Amino acid sequence: MKVLIIGSGGREHSICWKFAQSRKIDKVYCISGNGGISQIAQVSDIDISDFESLAAFAKEKEIDFTFVGPEIPLSQGIVDFFRRRNLKIIGPSKAAAQLESSKIYSKQFMKNYDIATAEYHSFFNAQDALDFLDNWGNKKAVVKADGLAAGKGVYICANAGEAKKAVCEMMTDKVFGLAGSKIIIEEFISGRELSYLIFTDGKTYSMMPAAQDHKRINDNDEGQNTGGMGAYAPAPLAAVDLNKKVEEQIIKKIMRGLAAEKLDYKGVLYIGVIMNDGEPFVLEFNCRFGDPETQAVLPLLETDLTDICLAILDEKLSEIKINWKKQFAVSVVAASGGYPNKYQTGFEIKGLDKVKDALVFHAGVKAQNGKILTAGGRVLTVTALADDIQGAIDKAYKNISQITFDKMHYRKDIAKRLV
Ligand code: GLY
């Protein structure tokens, strides 16, 4: 069989790597891929929002099914577009992808189906939001752009004054363009965050080992938010009783909601959960695999990913058993110095050949004249597996320390706070 993966980050490298191991897959294609992906898949440089060209490619190459990594094409309706052309594809329809592409939609969905989440209010113009904040008081507030903002559209504000600034940035200054033309303001909930990912065929689901992301740029969760600087799975915080709670109180209700709303969802759903006083609250939904959670979770998967995808496409997910390694995975992201702000690229990445007992998933990387060069903010992820979390941490750090490039930055405390 032939599979096409859409995307070009570390997440997509790990998805390509997993499919490349599948006994059913003869050839992996990736659009648009990166320097690392090109070592295991045939990459093509097509704009991932150009659905006509993507569908023509899938037809010409006789792709058996397509797997979509990032949220943008999903929110633009790539699944509907492919299905109308009888092309098999893994991902939610455009309507279902609103669970990620509209915060207002997802909060309303949670309210409708009794899924615990922070109290919130929606606003469609700046003045209403500013008037509302006049009575907010001195407590923390979370201001979120309704639309997709590359993970940057959430501001945690210390008080109403900061929240007003956030409202003005989003709605008046339009720093996120149209994505910030509607916003929500919600109560701040404190606690530990967990990433629960499920495979779903729309009828049933299968939970993956819960992961934890590290969103801040620096150790001890200091500095700016990023796309994610590291992850590990399974997170020890996600003990059996908590997983059961999340399943009963959140996942089963989501499934009821998908059915009641007739949402066509065949893919991966990411549920960002925060634990407050022993109770799980949903922070956000993402309609795809997480990055860098995927780089930690997929290496733990024992079952053939192709079998899972075929079962999803046939709505027979309940008929297969999905097995996971009884190990821990730790993923550490190496970023360009300066990220998530301005950074330079084009530096040679050295030492990749010295990585012996870990996986390297490339993201902002390009191959040029036989060299591997940095080409983005998050450059690569090193993932190591071991029987205990400390072993996985040690192995991940031993291996990432072999890799060098100018101004390389990575956190030294991934997974450490729980050991
Ligand atoms: N790791 C967060 C995300 O993928 O959105």
Domain boundaries, the chain: 2-93, 125-181, 193-319, 328-418
Q: How far is the CA of 355 from the centre of ligand 1 (A)?
A: 26
Q: How far is the CA of 253 from the centre of ligand 1 (A)?
A: 22
**Residue where the block lists tokens 């309210």:** 111
**Burial (CB count within 10 angstroms: exposed 0-12, middle 13-18, buried 19+), residue 222:** exposed
Rg of the chain over Cα atoms, rounded to whole angstroms, equals: 21
Q: What is the pLDDT of residue 271?
A: 98
Question: What residue owns the CA closest to ligand 1's atom 3?
Answer: 290
**β partners of residue 225:** 216
The encoded tokens of residue 67 equal 């797997």
**Burial (CB count within 10 angstroms: exposed 0-12, middle 13-18, buried 19+), residue 135:** exposed
> pLDDT over 70 for what percent of the chain?
100
Q: Is the pLDDT of residue 274 over 90?
A: yes
Q: What is the pLDDT of residue 237?
A: 82
Q: Is the pLDDT of residue 108 over 70?
A: yes
Q: Compute the distance between CA of residue 141 and CA of residue 161 in angstroms, rounded to an integer.
A: 10
Q: Compute the distance between CA of residue 112 and CA of residue 102 in angstroms, rounded to an integer.
A: 15
In this chain, the answer to whether the domains covering 2-93 and 125-181 adopt an identical fold is no
Q: Which atom of ligand 1 is nearest to the CA of 288?
A: 4
Q: Is the pLDDT of residue 151 over 90?
A: no
Tell me, using a 6 A CB cutoff, whether residue 100 lines ligand 1.
Answer: no
- Homologous superfamily of domain range 193-319: ATP-grasp fold, B domain (3.30.470.20)
**Residue where the block lists tokens 């609250």:** 281
Question: What residue owns the CA closest to ligand 1's atom 5?
Answer: 290
Q: What is the pLDDT of residue 239?
A: 81
Question: What residue owns the CA closest to ligand 1's atom 4?
Answer: 290
Q: How far is the CA of 273 from the centre of ligand 1 (A)?
A: 12
Amino acid 151 reads G
Q: How far is the CA of 308 from the centre of ligand 1 (A)?
A: 22
Neighbouring C-beta atoms of residue 305, cutoff 10 Å: 23
Report CA-CA distances (Å) from 273 to 85, 93, 238.
Answer: 36, 23, 11
* Mean predicted confidence (pLDDT) in 335-352: 96
* Mean predicted confidence (pLDDT) in 251-270: 98
Q: How far is the CA of 132 from the centre of ligand 1 (A)?
A: 30
Ligand 1 pocket test, candidate residues 14, 106, 195, 361, most atoms within 8 A of CB: 195
Between 264-268, 277-281, 415-419, the lowest mean confidence (pLDDT) is in 415-419
Q: For residue 238, name the pLDDT band (cuts at 50, 70, 90).
A: confident
Q: Is 125 left (phi over 0), alpha (psi -120 to 50) or beta?
A: beta
Q: Compute the distance between CA of residue 188 and CA of residue 197 in angstroms, rounded to an integer.
A: 23
Q: Which atom of ligand 1 is nearest to the CA of 11?
A: 4
Q: For residue 410, name the pLDDT band (cuts at 50, 70, 90).
A: very high
Q: For residue 176, name the pLDDT band (cuts at 50, 70, 90).
A: very high
Q: How far is the CA of 216 from the centre of ligand 1 (A)?
A: 12
Tell me, using a 6 A CB cutoff, whether residue 151 lines ligand 1.
Answer: yes
pTM: 0.96
The encoded tokens of residue 12 equal 């997509």
* Mean predicted confidence (pLDDT) in 50-54: 98
Q: For residue 418, name the pLDDT band (cuts at 50, 70, 90).
A: low
Q: How far is the CA of 135 from the centre of ligand 1 (A)?
A: 33
Q: What is the pLDDT of residue 205?
A: 98
Mean pLDDT in the chain? 96
Q: For residue 191, name the pLDDT band (cuts at 50, 70, 90).
A: very high
**β partners of residue 330:** 232, 384
CATH number for the domain whose boundaries are 125-181:
3.30.1490
Q: What is the pLDDT of residue 15?
A: 98
Q: Is the pLDDT of residue 419 over 70?
A: no
The answer to whether the bond into 206 is cis (omega within 30° of 0) is no
Q: What is the pLDDT of residue 225?
A: 86
* Mean predicted confidence (pLDDT) in 57-80: 98
Q: What is the pLDDT of residue 291?
A: 96
Q: How far is the CA of 292 from the centre of ligand 1 (A)?
A: 7
CATH number for the domain whose boundaries are 328-418:
3.90.600.10
Q: Which atom of ligand 1 is nearest to the CA of 284?
A: 5
Angle at 291 between CA 392 and CA 103, to 5 degrees: 135
Contacts of 278 (CB under 8 A, 6+ apart): none
Neighbouring C-beta atoms of residue 318, cutoff 10 Å: 12
Q: How far is the CA of 14 from the centre of ligand 1 (A)?
A: 14
The answer to whether the bond into 236 is cis (omega within 30° of 0) is no
The encoded tokens of residue 287 equal 């309609």
Q: What is the pLDDT of residue 241?
A: 84
* Mean predicted confidence (pLDDT) in 354-367: 96
Tell me, using a 6 A CB cutoff, whether residue 228 lines ligand 1.
Answer: yes
Q: Is the pLDDT of residue 404 over 60?
A: yes
CATH number for the domain whose boundaries are 2-93:
3.40.50.20
The alpha carbon of residue 27 and the mean position of all alpha carbons in its chain are separated, in whole angstroms, by 25
Q: For residue 352, name the pLDDT band (cuts at 50, 70, 90).
A: very high
Q: Which atom of ligand 1 is nearest to the CA of 290?
A: 4
* Mean predicted confidence (pLDDT) in 380-393: 97
Ligand 1 pocket test, candidate residues 15, 213, 288, 414, most atoms within 8 A of CB: 213
Mark out the alpha helices in 187-269 (DSSP H runs): 240-246, 252-260
